[in-house]
Structure 1
Amino acid sequence: SSRGQPVGIPLLEQEPEEPLGLGQLPTELLEMVLSHVPPHVLLGRCRRVCRRWRDLVDCQALWLSILARDHAALSPVLRTCLPADDDPRPRVLGRFCERRPIGRNLLRNPRGLAGFLKWTVLSSEDGWAAEEENLEVIPSAYMLTSFLSACRGYHKKQVLDLEKEGFWPELLDSGKIEICVSDWRNDQQGTDCIYQLTVQLLDANQAILDHFSPLPFPIWKWRNSVSPQVSHVFSNLKKGVRYVSFECCIWDLEFRNEQYGISVTNSSVIVQVCLS
């Protein structure tokens, strides 16, 4: 016998307990577990598991806990201008947590690499037509890229959709954010040029609400060895700002019958939260 168990009677094996599945967790515990999953996985995979998980991912409570942990400095400000609980737009806060748009450059391909992807590049050859064939990229100085063309005037442009970048209307209209823009003028052009920067803040219909457009700046070829920066901060934003249009124009003053070198510089559009 063993510990009083009669001889010949086998010991009863205790059945192992089944592990508790995620689907069996109380809502509060499941929400806590999901809050540690990367936002892009929550939106792209977890939301498809079942209706219960979808409802949790679409709920503000999950994203508020992620905001409090991953954006601790911003959370007190962001909580004062949250979307309504019954907002029909699902995953508004989720897109913000996924894209993390505060403090990063929202412009795509700011140095104009890889054939100027994400930029609309126009030339004056045919009444400001899109440049497709007559464009050759040349590596240049640090933070700069040049292209060659036989056209006299060029401009590059991007229009940023702030809501797609992760901002929601209540935050954009809260008066608690500012938009910082900058560009670098390259003073080592191969020809004499006129440089012009124009930045516009647009509403949902892309009507202009505010703009920054300093006077055109002459750049004389090979005159200087530095690349001055031009910058501006849009503060006290008007309500309704939904887009930022960023456009640089360069006009060649020599207009020779050969290709020109025109810079595409390291531009930036950065949104900051006013913590004070």
Structure 2
Amino acid sequence: MLRFKHTKVSNKGPMSHQKTRMGQSESGHIHVASRQQRSEECTALQSDVPDVPLAVVEEILLNLPAHQVVRVCRLVCREWKELVDSASHWRERCRREEIQPCDASRTPEDWRLFYFITKKRRNLLKNPSADDVLQRWEIVRNEGDGWAVEGNRKPFPDDTVTKCFVTSYGICLKRQLIDLKKEGYNAALMDQLQPHIKISDWYAPCPDCGSEYQICVELLDQRKNPIRTFQPEKVVFPSGNCEPWCQTTHVFKDYGPGVRFIRFTHGGKDTRFWAGHFGIRITNSSVEICPADEGSRRSKVSNKGPMSYQKTRMGHSESGHIHFAARQQRSDKCTALQSDVPDVPLAVVEEILLNLPAHQVVRVCQLVCREWKELVDSASHWRERCRREGIQPCDASRTPEDWRLFYFLTKKQRNLLKNPSADDDLQRWEIVHNGGNHWAAEMNRKPFPDDTVTKCFVTSYGLCLKRQLIDLKKEGYNAAFMDQLQPHIKISDWYAPRFDCGSEYQICIELLDQKKNPISTFQPEKVLFEQWNDEPWCQMTHVFKDYGRGVRFIRFTHGGVDTQYWAGHYGIRVTNSSVEICPSVQR
């Protein structure tokens, strides 16, 4: 993983003073000779507090139990809290644990809520498929020959379900009361989040005998008074039917505060009054608390069953009877109709987007649909791009406020000065003062910290100044960008004296408006070196922040003179100058 370097800055140079005008800034002189000692001191002081990149922290958190991450890790510091609270953390957990919305075209509004509700999701009914005979059920009506349990006469769609409850010639009803608090869904969760409550029940008639099926599901308050009720009309099967397995479903939504219990009641009878157990068969009943997008999926629902009608009372809902025998035919038709529009999981879409050029993702892919736009606008998408491309904040303890802006600024970040290290002699520079024996370009007398920089500009016994004017619009930073975002503008310049001659260094950086009038200026006091110095390389840095609107140009001026007035080029040396537009988290 690539990371930006931490710079150790000394605020004092030889006979130097600093002055910052008209702007909030960070600036300093860096003496290379003493930097190693300070670096070692800082390392010793910080050895007990390792600088761990946030990407590593996030990977650690993703491998801890979710409840510990929320209850403990989230309290460690602001950065960890932001990681734990981010949608990207919980979406990544869902991806790794293969928890996905049933409808890939709809993203959860709250990924953390979606994760926990899905992880906790289960059938709240006990003994739903008659495996334990009639245990855990309260018998409400037990007429005729009463309730019984049998093996399925016809294979069930889920081959793990092999038994069913069977009714008789008198009405048979049974029920369960679900205490939501005991099941782990406390009052605050139910009242504030109101997750969807999904009901499902499967039933089938005896082929040679008519039968009747009924169901009633109630959401109850603390005193067990109904708040919402689902009670469709009874479903009647005639004699001589084909014995299909049918499913009834319902989703409670927006049911309001106060739900503390769920009462599930179902049953039926045969319509021929035959002794024995020829009535309706029911099995695989379920009541589940599920994320909102789960309940909103587009199910293939048949709103009509044999001689059946549906009615939804007192609630916003989606419900239906599904005739299993006819479902395969409808599914085939739908598959044929939708074959040109494949249902691609969002995790796959995001992986595709991450492998496309960033500018295409913003300009084109973001316009495809709402889900794609949400992916492209998400912080997690741009943080993942940064991770894959080795782009990280220089200070791992500070996360960018806007990861997309951070990505594009860092990708575009470059030195806006041309010919900064005298590789092309004095080309691209405007000479302001050319005193003494004028400006010259020479090889470095002493190795530079960056061994790729081998040349420098040299001044003489008369004042030598040169400058460049940077047109921000031509460099790709338009007016709206500079005015609205005001990215940091980072200045750097390296300078050194000759060991045998005194010299003077000066610099002035101006942020200019459209008419080239100064908006903000950085002009520290001149730096003086005495004769017989140790010829160090020093760095001048400054960061313009909060400089206001209107910046259209940057004027960079620097130079100096020797103080002994010796003929030739014995004055200050400058090289590796830079002006960069950079994200605010860098320093």
TM over 0.5: yes
CA distance in 2, matches of 1:63, 1:163: 26
Q: TM-score, normalised by structure 1?
A: 0.59
Q: Does 1:210 align with 2:228?
A: yes
Alignment partners' CA distance in 1, 2:284 and 2:273: 25
Residue 71 (structure 2) aligns with: 61
Match of 2:151 in 1: 139
Cα pair 1:180 1:270 within 8 Å, conserved: yes
Q: Which of the numbers 147, 170, 174 marks the counterpart of 2:192?
A: 174
Correspondences of 1:233-272 after superposition (within 5 Å): 233-272=251-290
- Tell me the CA shift for residue 254 of structure 1: 1.6
Counterpart residue number, 1:164: 182
Q: How far is the alpha carbon of 1:38 from its aligned partner?
A: 11
The alpha-carbon distance between structure 1 residues 275 and 125, as it changes in their structure 2 partners (threshold 3 A), is: closer
Aligned pairs for 1:179-190 (under 5 A) are 179-188=197-206
TM normalised by structure 2 equals: 0.30
Structure 1 residues 148, 207: CA separation in 2 closer, same or farther (over 3 Å shift)? closer
For the pair shown, which has the larger CA radius of gyration, 1 or 2? 2
Distance apart, 1:251 and its partner CA: 2.5
Shift, 1:196, TM fit: 0.7
- Greater Cα shift, 256-265 or 217-226: 256-265
Cα deviation per residue 1:39-95 (whole Å; 9 max; x = unaligned)?
8xxxxxxxxxxxxxxxxx9xx824979xx689955664489xxxxxxxxxxxxxxxx
Name the counterpart of 1:84.
none
Structure 1 residue 189, shift from structure 2 partner: 5.1
Higher RCO (C-alpha 8 Å, min separation 6)? 1
3-state secondary structure, aligned to 2:227: strand
- Secondary structure, counterpart of 2:120 in structure 1: coil
CA distance in 1, matches of 2:261, 2:74: 26
CA–CA distance in structure 1, aligned partners of residues 178 and 135 of structure 2: 14
- Aligned partners of 1:118 and 1:64: how far apart in 2? 40
Q: Equivalent residue of 1:267, what SS?
A: strand
Structure 1 segment 77-226 matched on structure 2, within 5 A: 77=113, 100-102=119-121, 104-125=122-143, 136-140=148-152, 141=154, 142=156, 143=161, 145-147=163-165, 152-188=170-206, 191-226=209-244
Quote how far apart the aligned CAs of 1:267 are: 1.0
Contact 1:190 1:262 in 2 (8 A): no
For residues 113 and 156 of structure 1, the distance between their equivalents in structure 2, rounded to whole angstroms, comes to 16
**Preserved CA contact (<8 Å) 1:101 1:167:** no
Task: Name the CA distance, whole Å, in 2 between partners of 1:212 and 1:107.
Answer: 17
Determine if contact 2:205/2:211 at 8 Å carries over to the other structure: no
Percent identity, aligned pairs only, is 25
1:275, distance to aligned residue in structure 2 (A): 6.1
Instruction: Note the residue ranges of structure 1 that are not aligned, 5 or more in a row.
Output: 1-31, 40-56, 80-95
TM superposition shift of 1:36:
5.8
- Asked if 1 retains the 8 angstrom alpha-carbon contact of 2:130 and 2:165, the reply is no
2:141/2:174 contact within 8 Å kept: no
Q: Partners in 1 of 2:196 and 2:285 — Cα distance?
A: 17
Deviations 1:222-248 (A, max 9, x none): 402421211111011210001111111
Tell me the SS of whatever aligns to 1:171: helix
Corresponding residue for residue 53 of structure 2: none
